[in-house]
């Protein structure tokens, strides 16, 4: 592998270019399976970034990535332990070492952590600092609940979280007092109206390293063989690559795939990365649908989907953690086909469909026909998921989705249920129910749907529906839940739906979680 520092001139297509501390790093011949964390620690010897779990759970490895977003730079925290180095191409990387000012003074985030005693053994501290740095750069005045959400992916075993939360509030006051937060500071807090001179300079540097053509890397594997990594910039080129290399792994956010390397020690000999294809980042709403490109991140989809379907918004707020959501895509969640993936029950209940593409041809398939068996989908060789089409619900549609986990934040579902129906003179119509965690695939509860369809929404229909659920599923026992628990929860979620939507005194919310935000009880 060769690495050089250069100013941003045009580069050959086998060269990764990203910015670190203001300088363009240019890399060739790196193993495409190298994680950003390993590159930082083992090659650059930047050991501030720590490894705790190597699976996206603990946040010790959090770094921040700056990406062009029109005329501005968007700063987002990600987990470096499960991101591959080539995905940094065209971006700016910030590590905890980046924050110190040229005169050696601390950044307000670091200073606040010191003042508030936010660190003891210090192992988690760089990760917290970087999550807070991303927040400092993107959100002017978050309240305590929002700070809690932002830090959901950072675990600390020493301090307790209160001093860290105090630091999160304190850093804004330090900045406004002029302690290192002024406009001349390289990484001052973002001002939505006026980018600082430093941010304008950063934008120009990022522009200089954007590429129009395909990145095609070859790098050595551990046994002297070769690995390839392609990053096309157009959907047509992506389609061509996927068709020509049907065995290559399609890489989106890497929050599933990264673990295949760090935990399952798989060798990914050929990768096609779709994160540089702008056409796959479309997120639009028209009169009838929300169109979601496969490469739209959960973070980006969250707000628009949540606006139309508040329960989906709440579910996405509890999907993993902000650094995972900043990388993970809707397309990756759907295509991965995990029976406990959180998007699918809601999307299936709402009647979403998928646009699949092979070469220049596309076909549309209802999402509930996409999953064939455990981790087996209807995707054919050379085909990929281009976008998800989510129909807008009629005004009288009731929709709920409930996620059941052991922890409130940053936990994968034991069971996730989603329900959609209309009431016509108190009779249930167009009932669609789907559960995750109850079968080898996200699966509709067809017997329960039949038991409810056309019936009055009352106690006896509820009882029939609960009984039908037992026939719909034969759940498994695993570390998340026993068979009995899954059966009971599934029934009880239907009861919760009934209590919330059966009309007395209008819609309501049952058992509000104290941490639930933005959508209080509906009456
Ligand atoms: C700590 C942690 C917490 C998590 N918590 C949750 C959670 O709460 N809820 C949840 O649902 N998931 C969770 N996940 C799983 C994961 O984040 C999601 O499944 C995520 O949406 C995957 O998207 P990705 O872009 O990272 O996919 P990748 O890892 O890049 O890819 C996943 C799979 O999809 C395929 N793929 C990706 N895009 C396409 C495409 N366009 N066409 C065809 N195939 C494609 C890939 O080839 C691969 O097989 C968690 C993961 C971690 C590490
Ligand atoms: S090392 Fe734990 S999230 Fe990366
Ligand atoms: S300070 Fe020790 S783990 Fe957080």
412 lines ligand 1 (CB under 6 A): yes
Give the architecture-level CATH label for domain 282-501: 2-Layer Sandwich (3.30)
Q: How far is the CA of 330 from the centre of ligand 1 (A)?
A: 8
Residue boundaries of the structural domains of the chain: 48-83+95-208, 215-277, 282-501
**Residue 268, CB-side half-sphere exposure with 13 Å CA sphere:** 24
What superfamily in CATH does domain 48-83+95-208 come from? [2Fe-2S]-binding domain (1.10.150.120)
- Angle, helices 108-115 vs 125-138, to 10°: value is 130
**Closest residue by CA, ligand 2 atom 3:** 56
Per-residue pLDDT of the chain in tens (523 residues, 90 and over written 9): 655 544 444 344 799 999 999 899 999 999 999 999 999 999 999 999 999 999 999 999 999 999 999 889 999 999 999 999 999 999 999 999 999 888 889 999 999 999 999 999 999 999 999 999 999 999 988 999 999 999 999 999 998 899 999 999 999 988 766 554 443 344 555 555 677 888 889 999 999 999 989 999 998 887 778 999 999 999 999 999 999 999 999 999 999 999 999 999 999 999 999 999 999 999 999 999 999 999 999 999 999 999 999 999 999 999 999 999 999 999 999 999 899 999 999 999 999 999 999 999 999 999 999 999 998 999 999 999 999 999 998 889 999 999 999 988 888 899 999 999 999 999 999 999 999 999 999 999 999 999 999 999 999 999 999 999 999 999 988 888 999 999 999 999 999 999 999 975 555 555 444 444 433 332 2
271 lines ligand 1 (CB under 6 A): no
Report which bound ligand comes closest to the CA of 356.
1
pTM of the predicted model as reported, rounded to 2 decimal places: 0.93
Contact criterion met (CB below 8 Å) for 310 and 289: no
Pick from 38, 49, 56, 130 the residue to mutate for probing ligand 2's pocket: most ligand atoms within 8 Å of its CB: 56
Sheet holding 23-28, edge to edge: 2-6, 23-28, 16-20, 92-94, 62-69, 72-79
Residue 122 alpha carbon, nearest atom of ligand 3: 1
In this structure, the strands spanning 270-273 and 226-231 are parallel
319 lines ligand 1 (CB under 6 A): yes
154 lines ligand 3 (CB under 6 A): no
Distance (Å, whole) CA 278 – CA 276 = 6
Q: How far is the CA of 33 from the centre of ligand 1 (A)?
A: 17
Distance (Å, whole) CA 312 – CA 418 = 9
Contact criterion met (CB below 8 Å) for 18 and 24: yes
Pick from 127, 320, 378 the residue to mutate for probing ligand 1's pocket: most ligand atoms within 8 Å of its CB: 320
**Closest residue by CA, ligand 3 atom 4:** 156
Distance (Å, whole) CA 256 – CA 320 = 12
Q: What are phi and psi of 201, to 5 degrees?
A: -65, -40
DSSP state letter for 106: P
Distance (Å, whole) CA 77 – CA 320 = 13
129 lines ligand 3 (CB under 6 A): no
Kindly give, in sequence order, each residue whose CB lies less than 8 Å from that of residue 6, ignoring residues fewer than 6 positions away.
24, 26
Is the domain defined by 215-277 classed in CATH 3.30.43.10?
Answer: yes
Q: How far is the CA of 35 from the centre of ligand 2 (A)?
A: 11
Contact criterion met (CB below 8 Å) for 323 and 79: yes
Q: How far is the CA of 63 from the centre of ligand 3 (A)?
A: 17
345 lines ligand 1 (CB under 6 A): no
**Closest residue by CA, ligand 1 atom 17:** 255
């Amino acid at each position: 592998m060769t690495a050089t520092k250069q100013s941003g001139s045009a580069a050959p297509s086998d060269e990764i270019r990203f910015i670190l501390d203001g300088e363009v790093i240019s890399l060739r011949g790196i193993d495409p399976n190298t994680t950003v964390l390993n590159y930082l620690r083992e090659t650059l010897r930047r050991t501030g970034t720590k490894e705790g779990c190597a699976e996206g759970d603990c946040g010790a490895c959090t770094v921040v990535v700056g990406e062009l977003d029109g005329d501005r730079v968007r700063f987002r925290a990600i987990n470096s332990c499960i991101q591959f180095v080539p995905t940094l191409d065209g971006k700016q990387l910030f590590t905890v070492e980046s924050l110190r000012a040229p005169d050696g003074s601390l950044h307000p985030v670091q200073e606040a952590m010191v003042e508030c005693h936010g660190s003891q053994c210090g192992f988690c501290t760089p990760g917290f600092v970087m999550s807070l740095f991303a927040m400092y750069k993107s959100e002017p005045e978050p309240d305590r609940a929002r700070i809690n959400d932002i830090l959901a992916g950072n675990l600390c075993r020493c301090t307790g979280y209160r001093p860290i939360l105090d630091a999160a509030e304190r850093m804004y006051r330090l900045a406004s007092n002029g302690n290192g937060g002024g406009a001349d500071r390289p990484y001052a807090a973002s001002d939505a109206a006026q980018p600082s001179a430093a941010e304008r300079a950063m934008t120009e540097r990022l522009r200089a390293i954007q590429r129009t053509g395909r990145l095609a890397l070859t790098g050595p594997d551990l046994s002297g063989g070769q690995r390839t990594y392609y990053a096309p910039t157009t959907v047509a080129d992506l389609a061509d690559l996927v068709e020509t290399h049907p065995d290559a792994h399609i890489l989106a956010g890497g929050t599933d795939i990264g673990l295949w390397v760090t935990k399952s020690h798989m060798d990914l000999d050929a990768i096609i990365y779709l994160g540089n294809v702008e056409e796959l980042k479309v997120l639009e709403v028209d009169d009838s649908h929300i169109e979601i490109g496969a490469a739209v991140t959960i973070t980006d989809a969250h707000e628009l989907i949540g606006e139309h379907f508040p329960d989906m918004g709440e579910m996405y707020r509890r999907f993993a953690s902000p650094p995972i959501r900043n990388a993970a895509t809707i397309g990756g969640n759907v295509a991965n086909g995990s029976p406990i993936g959180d998007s699918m029950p809601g999307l299936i209940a709402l009647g979403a469909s998928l646009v699949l593409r092979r070469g220049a041809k596309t076909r549309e398939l209802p999402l509930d026909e996409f999953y064939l068996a455990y981790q087996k989908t209807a995707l054919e060789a050379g085909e990929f998921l281009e976008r998800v089409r989510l129909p807008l619900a009629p005004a009288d549609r009731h929709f709920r989705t409930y996620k059941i986990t052991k922890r409130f934040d940053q936990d994968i579902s034991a069971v996730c249920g989603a329900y959609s129906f209309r009431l016509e003179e108190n009779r249930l119509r167009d009932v669609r129910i789907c559960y995750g965690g109850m079968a080898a695939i996200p699966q509709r509860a067809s017997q329960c749907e039949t038991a409810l369809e056309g019936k009055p929404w009352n106690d006896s229909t509820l009882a029939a529906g609960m009984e039908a659920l037992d026939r719909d599923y034969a759940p498994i026992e695993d570390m998340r839940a026993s068979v009995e628990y899954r059966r009971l929860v599934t029934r009880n979620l239907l009861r919760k739906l009934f209590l919330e939507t059966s009309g007395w005194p209008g819609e309501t919310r049952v058992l509000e979680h104290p941490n639930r935000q933005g959508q209080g009880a509906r009456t």
